[in-house]
Amino acid sequence: MRDYILQNKKVLVVDDNIINQTVVKHALIKLGAMTEIAGDGEEAITLFRNNIYDLVLMDVQMPIMDGYDATRYIRNQLQSKVPIIAMTAFALKGEDEKCLESGMNGYVSKPFTLESLYNAINQVFDTNVIVQSNPYILTDNNTSVDVSMLYEIVGNDEEYIKAMITTFIENIPTIVQKIEAALANKDWDNVAKSAHYAKSSLSVVKIAEILDWIIMIEYSARKKSDLEAIPALIAKVKEKFVIVGNILMERFSFKPKS
């Protein structure tokens, strides 16, 4: 059972290699995470000062500031106990001790499988009971909506945030309708295109399960495989979106006029 071990968790990936960044990001998304990327230790620390993370995946060898130094900085200067997992190039002798000494909580050797990444995360979470909770993740009815990005970007301009939320609430049903219309015509290209478009909206207001289903719809339509699964996925998206709509309307007090 490795589904969504990182559901609603914000993970910082620190790696200087663009390919690795992408590979790791995708593995994490499969586990339900929201990810952010830094290209070296210094960038990681800049991001760290401005964000709350639940987990850090740290490459050890990087330019400017390596993983050990960045970890020491996070532990000593920033006084953070966030779980940090090292990504080491090889199972080099002594590498594991060096990681733990610098303050990391675990490690995986690259290239790693989803399974070994999962195991490393599981181990670290087991021994770290402290899980930071983010006030911008709204939860109700088994559903979480992450609106932290809006606040990070807009700050306190509640009106602008409301305008964005309104756009989101209006946008998703329109896209779902487009997917359904294309589906009725077996127009797989447009099913994929609309699903792809929905992913953009969901990159701002983040809902892990809906994003996952949308990705599955897009993939099926693009590869023309598992097409019979699409209607059920659309139904799930619609059902979940009703709950999401309620959560957002409640939080941003769009009250229906009575």
Partner 1 sequence: MKILIAEDEPLVMMALVAKLRKEGYEVTSATDGREALKAIEKNNPDLIITDILMPYTSGLELIGIVKSNPSINIPILVISALGEEDTVMEAFQLGADDFLTKPFNPVELSLRVKRLIKLKSPKLSK
What residue ranges bind partner 1 (CB under 8 A)? 22, 25-26, 29, 34, 36-38, 43, 46-47, 50-51, 149-150, 152-155, 157, 160, 163-164, 167-168, 171, 193, 196-197, 199-201, 203-206, 215, 218-219
CB of 225 to partner 1, least distance (A): 15
The DSSP string of 171-237 is HHHHHHHHHHHHHHTT-HHHHHHHHHHHHHHTTTSB-HHHHHHHHHHHHHHHHT-SGGGHHHHHHHH
Tell the smallest beta-carbon distance from residue 16 to partner 1 (Å). Answer: 14
How far the first Cα of the chain sits from its last, in Å, is: 46
CB of 147 to partner 1, least distance (A): 11
Q: How far is the CB of 206 from partner 1 (least distance, A)?
A: 6
Q: Which is nearer to partner 1, 102 or 134 (CB)?
A: 134
Alpha-carbon distances, residue 17 vs 36, 84, 98, 157, 226 (angstroms): 14, 19, 22, 36, 34
Q: Which of 110, 115, 114 has the alpha carbon at shortest distance from 60? A: 110
